[in-house]
Amino acid sequence: MQFTSITVLLFLLPFSALAGTFLETFDDGDLEGWQELVQLNNVPGSWEIVNNELHAVSRETFKRLLTTGDDTWEDYTIEFDVKPLKKHGISSILIAARVRGTWVVYCHIADPVVIIDGKPPVHEPLMACLVGNLHDVVFQQLHTEPHSLLKLNK
């Protein structure tokens, strides 16, 4: 089963900011200033820019985090457009902020496959916010219901 994930992590590293606004259009065709953070030292993902769009496709189910940021960022709003590729399985969008070291808080919107008591598999919508260490598999759930600060504009 193929797992498609588009992920952005506000990784508080010392990158320069542009007059208080960070805008990434990917029209330069490269990922300069971006870095992948891999959970549990898994194999890096396949991030690429195709027609000025960021693509990430993975057959694995672990999180893939492409990171950028600036340690001076505070009170920020994130906006991005998502264009799903052909759907071949589970999909998710994950936004995270690094707290300290490998500790992150992240929220994701996904449609995992749920199997209950031998019934046919069902794709079930999921929205959750969690906190944990990327070098561990245990995360504490913070929210599982839609939250006013996490909006999905249609």
> What is the phi/psi pair of residue 40, to 5°?
55, 30
Return the pLDDT at 151.
Answer: 56
Please give the model's pTM, rounded to 2 decimal places.
0.60
Instruction: Encode the chain (154 residues) as per-residue pLDDT tens digits.
Output: 344 444 444 433 334 444 567 888 889 988 888 888 777 777 777 788 888 888 876 667 667 778 887 777 777 777 888 777 666 666 778 888 877 877 888 888 877 777 888 888 887 777 888 898 888 878 888 877 765 555 555 5
Instruction: Give the Å distances, CA to CA, from 80 to 48, 94, 147.
Output: 17, 12, 18
